[in-house]
Structures are given as structure tokens and as C-alpha cells.
Amino acid sequence: MDPVPTLDVFILTFNAAKRQIHAPVFARHLYNAFGQNASRLPELVVISLQEMAPSAQAFIGSYMLNPYFQRYESAVNLAAAKFAAEVERQNLPKDHPYTLVTMRNVGMTGILLFARDPDMVKHLRATEIGFGAGGMANKGAVGLRLQYNKRDADGSLLASTELTFVSAHLAAMEWNLEKRNKNWESIASGLVFDDPKKYAERQAKQFSHRDNNDNGESEAQQALLSQDRTEKSLHDISIYKPSAHLFIAGDLNYRISDSAPALDSVFPDRNPDNAPESPNHFSHFLAHDQLTAEKAAGRALHGLSEAKIKFPPTYKLVLSPKPKPHAGIEIAGDEDDDMDEVEWSWAPHRWPSWCDRILFQEIPWWAREIVGNKSMDVLAYNALPPVRSSDHKAVFLRVEVPMLENNCLIPPNSAVEVELRAKSVSSLPDPRVLLPFPIDVQSWERRAQIRKWESTIGWSMLISQSKEGLVVFITLLLVGLGTWWYRSR
């Protein structure tokens, strides 16, 4: 059997603390990340962002967010051009080795998709959900689903596979564990790639015509078949679509304690190279990670795997003041974040925690034989150095994804029985077979209603915060009134 082709994917998650990054510094960190255990550029780059911009700009969206997105586009391409020239020995276009295929956001949570060959990205779809106050998107998740094709040197289709990427920001604070789990339930039940209400209405319509039965089936059989078709359709629009690889990245906010640290609390070593035998080595604190415990208990991140964590906590950092230049020496540029090396310490009022995570679905047991009983090939899972603009470290995952066709990932009929047996003995069923929560059929309609208010709220916040915002508002108002007057003449 020929080996299954793989897709080289690089995913990065970063809580930007509502500030713009300094692209050259971020690019240098990305350049180093591209080179960890790899000598080539990835085919896809996905960047998951949280608190990517202030609330007002994020709720307004559109051009207000472009300056924030553009910094990441610049950083990715700066890093890629340098890597291509120095490591791959290729002279790629200096400005755009990668094409930004799409950028989406829900409130302050965003996602960017880059491809070296954008023509290989097909059937791109996006979706979103908010679960902040009143369903607003100060916390939320945004998802992308796509098909990626790979062609050989002759241009013939070599392989094709489907992928789902989710960028998420869950509830903060140590004591909000249950709320984080509820946020995850909202994602699993309500982050869907089509309006689920129409599938439920279709089932109701089919059931109402059950008397027109030409096959001699009983009413119960018809109802069961209709229900099965509806449940399959709802499963396919969920994040757990059986035929797609799934990746979840974000500030998931799970901590190592359900209460704030005491004044005399001992924190983990900041240096990952310290001996694991050290009593303050970060691995001893990782044993108390909430996400690991909640996932094992079947209360969150169902069916998802994570590479081994070999880096210290990524939150919460206190950055040392920027050194002042010596008298008579000027520092070029007006950026706050213009230094690679940033001195920092742990914030004393928060437990250092692995808030920033990237998880994925492993190859299902029914498809393992196709890939030679191999797992996802994780090349790197690590954190970038801190940057001056944020109290989080960015985290990245580099993984070789087997390009399995849809029919290989879809569970066979026998899988349902196997997973039901596993569930009966308290094992955790595979969500590609049995969803952890029913699909919320009202999710799209509810999100559409809330979205209408977010732009208005964003403008109100912006106006109240600055004179510039007031000027923009008055200008738009005058333009609107002028247009109305002209058309009404």
C-alpha cells in the first residue's frame, strides 16, 4: 500500500491583549518556530487570535480591524521570506510567500488562514458563536472549514482532505471552571457551519407527510429514518463532522487552581531547561492543570488530543519596564515592542497557567490501518518568547496531517455499536460517532439577532472613549442626513 500523503500545517494561538504586535519582532520569533524540527515552510498557516483588538473596534469590525490583521500578515510573510531564502534556499517573493486566504472574527476573537498555494484551498466556509455577557462576542469562537487538495508534479490530483479550525476564547478567572465548560458546550452544540433550524424544520415537514408511504413502512419506521437523516445532517455541520480533521486553538483559560494564589505561594520555574527533579519544575504544576482533568472526565474538549507540553505556563506575565536609552542616544522607530529580549516575571495575583492551547482529533481507530497504525505526526508544540505587547506567550503546533479522503474518516456502521458499548462501560465515545451534546437548532438565529447590536455597541463605545470617535460619528451622521435630503428632493 502506498503511503498516505500528508499536509504540513502550522497553527499558532495568541492572546494579543488588545494591542497591535510589532511585526518585525513577531516575525523573528515565527522564523525560529518554522525551523523547529523542520527544514521547510508549512503548507498552511493558521493564526488564532484572542483579544486581538479593543472591544469597540472588534465589535465594529470591518476596516477597523484591518490594521490589526495586517500586522500578522506582514509578520508571517517576513518570517517566511527569510526562512525560504536562508533554509530552503528558495527565492520566494519577498512580500508574499504566503497568501492570506481569509480573515474572520467574532468580536475580539479572530482567525487567519494562510496558504503557500491558495488554489489548493477549496470550499471554504466560516461560522461563529458568542458566549459573553448576553451572548455578546467579548468571548466566543470562530471556525473555518475547508477542503485542501494536493497535486503531483504533473498537476494530477494526488490527495484531498477536509479540515476544521476553531479559534476560541473561554471564560477567565481561576474560579470560573464551570463557566469554561459551559462555553465549550456552546461551541460543541452551537458552532455549526449551516443553519441547523432548517434541518429540524425539514424533519418536521417529512414527518407531517408520513401517511404518504409507498413502501409499506410503518409510521415508527418512517419517523426513525427521518430522525436518523436529520441527526446525520446536524452532525455534519457541527465541528465534529466525521469526515474532517478538527483542530481547536485558543486562550481556553483553564488554570492550575480554582482560587487565586496566596501571598506566599511558590510559582514554577520560568526556565524550561531546569532539571525536572527540581521541586519547582513546571511539570509538577502541570499535574494540576484543569483542562487535563476536565477532558479526562468527559466534561470538556471531548475526543481531542494534545501533544506533550514541554514548556512553562504561558500566562500571566508581568513585563519589566522598557530600558531607557542612555542620554544622547535615540532609539529609531515609535513602537513599544521593538526588542526581541523581554525581561518578565510571574504576576503575583494569578497562578501561572497553560491558558493557551492547541488540541486536535487523532486518527480514528477505524482509519488507523490506512495510515499504517500511525498517529498525527507532531513536529513541534512549543511557546514563542514573550513580546512586550501582551501578558501571554503565543503557542504553536506544527503537525503533519494524513490526507485521508472523506470516506476513510467516516465511521463504518459497526462503529456506532462499538462506541455505544464503550459509553456503557464509562469510556468516552468518539464524537465523530456520538456527539457529546445535542446540536442547538436555534444557534444561528440567536447569533444573527445579537450580531445586529454589536456594531451599534461598538460605535457607542468608540464615541464615548475618544474625540476622534465623536468626529467620525458626526461626519457619518451628516453624510447620512445629506444623502437622505438629496434623495428626498
The pLDDT, as a whole number, for residue 47 is 98
The pLDDT, as a whole number, for residue 211 is 52
Are 180 and 186 in contact by the 8 Å Cβ rule? The answer is no
Query: For 251-268, what is each residue's pLDDT tens digit?
Result: 999 999 999 999 999 999
Given CA atoms 174, 177, 180, 182 in this order, what sign does their dihedral have? negative
**Spans of the chain, pLDDT less than 50:** 222-224, 327-334, 336-337
Parallel/antiparallel/unpaired status of strands 244-251 and 356-360: antiparallel
The pLDDT, as a whole number, for residue 484 is 64
Are 176 and 203 in contact by the 8 Å Cβ rule? The answer is no
From the list 342, 273, 339, 345, the residue with the least C-alpha distance to 311 is: 273
For residues 315 and 428, state if they share a domain.
yes
**Is the residue at 446 inside a domain?**
no
**Is the residue at 123 inside a domain?**
yes
The pLDDT, as a whole number, for residue 223 is 47
**Is the residue at 445 inside a domain?**
no
**Is the residue at 1 inside a domain?**
no
For residues 212 and 281, state if they share a domain.
no
Parallel/antiparallel/unpaired status of strands 99-106 and 121-130: unpaired
For residues 288 and 408, state if they share a domain.
yes
**Is the residue at 261 inside a domain?**
yes
For residues 216 and 292, state if they share a domain.
no
Report how far apart, in Å, the C-alpha atoms of 28 and of each of 74, 77, 80, 438 are. Answer: 12, 11, 10, 44
**Is the residue at 92 inside a domain?**
yes
What count of Cα atoms within 13 Å lies in the side-chain half-sphere of residue 343? Answer: 4
For residues 166 and 125, state if they share a domain.
yes
> Of 181, 216, 236, which residue constitutes the final position of a domain?
236
Q: Indicate the number of domains in the chain.
A: 3
Q: Which domain holds residue 477?
A: 451-489
**Is the residue at 291 inside a domain?**
yes
For residues 189 and 54, state if they share a domain.
yes
Start-to-end Cα distance in the chain: 75
Residue 479 zone, left/alpha/beta (φ > 0; ψ -120 to 50; rest): alpha
Q: Which three cell numbers stand for residue 442?
A: 436555534
For residues 353 and 204, state if they share a domain.
no
For residues 69 and 124, state if they share a domain.
yes
Helix %, strand %, coil % of the chain (to 5)? 35, 20, 45
The model's pTM? 0.89
Q: What is the C-alpha separation between 378 and 8, in angstroms, rounded?
A: 10
The pLDDT, as a whole number, for residue 334 is 44
The pLDDT, as a whole number, for residue 137 is 87
Sheet with 140-151: strands ordered across: 121-130, 140-151, 157-169, 244-251, 356-360
For residues 246 and 328, state if they share a domain.
yes
CATH value at residue 169: 3.60.10.10
**Is the residue at 457 inside a domain?**
yes
Contacts of 29 (CB under 8 A, 6+ apart): 340, 384, 385, 387, 394
For residues 304 and 409, state if they share a domain.
yes
For residues 160 and 283, state if they share a domain.
yes
For residues 149 and 229, state if they share a domain.
no
